[in-house]
Amino acid sequence: MADILLQLNNISVVYSDVIQVLKGVSLSVTRGHIVSLLGSNGAGKTTTLKAISGLLKPENGEVTDGNIIYAGVNIQNQAPEFITRKGIIQVLEGRQPFKYLTIEENLRVGTATRPGKPYKEDLEMVYRYFPALVKRRKALAGYCSGGELQMLVIGRALMAHPQLLMLDEPSLGLAPLVVQEIFHIIKKINEEHGTTIVLVEQNANMALQVAHYGYVMENGKIVMEGTSGELSDNPDVKEFYLGMAASGMAKSYKDVKSYRRRKRWL
């Protein structure tokens, strides 16, 4: 087996001491791979990412069981300052720019994990990946479009030189062409920098195209895993996440009754 960068062993996450969201999730991420995490709303994908990046604490959540091992170190329930300095950067869902900072200042915040180091080259690198940002560099982020903002937040994360980049729904609310461009860039980042990427997506089709490996989550559990090829050939995934009936035709409502029955992992 190739070397494992991140390993989650049977973790469970509880919010406010009462609401259990993750019920024993185990997954492993191979160094240099893109791993995608699929599932419907409320499946626990975002919570999984937050458990890794340490952002549960401000939301009163906690990893109560299991452990998270990153590069041989236990990191569950650590402060985000610590985890980000180890090289794990999460890009939050729904594009959270600093609205009153300019694009360039936004990018500079990305250097927080290594303050005092030169950052000019990194800026150039980000602008090379996202040429659209160059002409907006002095504009306030609050006035930029959704596509530009998504590029901004990915670029901002790249400024931190992440070992492991976690992207939470980068395609949310974007036009199909923009989505394609973003995924293209994600692939490029992975290939050129060797950055390991965990990708949380609703858009299973796009995600499986770029990913090496995938996990499917439901109700706080991992219900299926496999390489992208295996997953996209799986009839269940095809039906429920890729929106195709077994025969390859668009699904008809006649089969609606079989819908739940066919989800045999539930």
128 Cβ contact partners less than 8 Å away, ≥ 6 residues apart: none
**Residue 19: count of CB within 10 angstroms of its CB:** 10
Question: Closest approach of Cβ 130 to other proteins, in Å?
Answer: 17
Q: Which two tokens stand for residue 12?
A: 């469970």
Render 65-90 in DSSP notation, one character per residue: EEEEEETTEE-TT--HHHHHHTTEEE
Q: Is 80 in the site for other proteins (CB under 8 A)?
A: yes
Strand, helix or coil at 20? strand
**Residue 100 in the binding site for other proteins (CB under 8 A):** yes
Footprint (CB under 8 A) of other proteins, residues 110-139: 110-113, 115-116
Taking CB under 8 A as the binding criterion, the range among 9-17, 22-30, 93-101, 123-131 that sits at the site for other proteins is: 93-101
228 binds other proteins (CB under 8 A): no
d(CA 164, CA 87): 6
**Which two tokens mark 256?**
């609606």
Residue 84 binds to other proteins (criterion: CB under 8 A): yes
17 binds other proteins (CB under 8 A): no
Q: Shortest CA distance to 107 belongs to which of 137, 147, 142? A: 137
* Binding of other proteins by 155 (CB under 8 A): no
For other proteins, give the closer residue by CB, 141 or 237. 141
Task: Work out how close the CB of 162 gets to other proteins at its nearest, in angstroms, rounded to a whole number.
Answer: 10
One of 55, 75, 204, 231 touching other proteins (CB under 8 A): 55
Candidates 26-34, 76-84, 124-132, 198-206 — which segment interacts with other proteins by CB under 8 A? 76-84
CA end-to-end span of the chain, whole Å? 30
User: Is residue 101 close enough to count as binding other proteins by CB under 8 A?
Assistant: yes
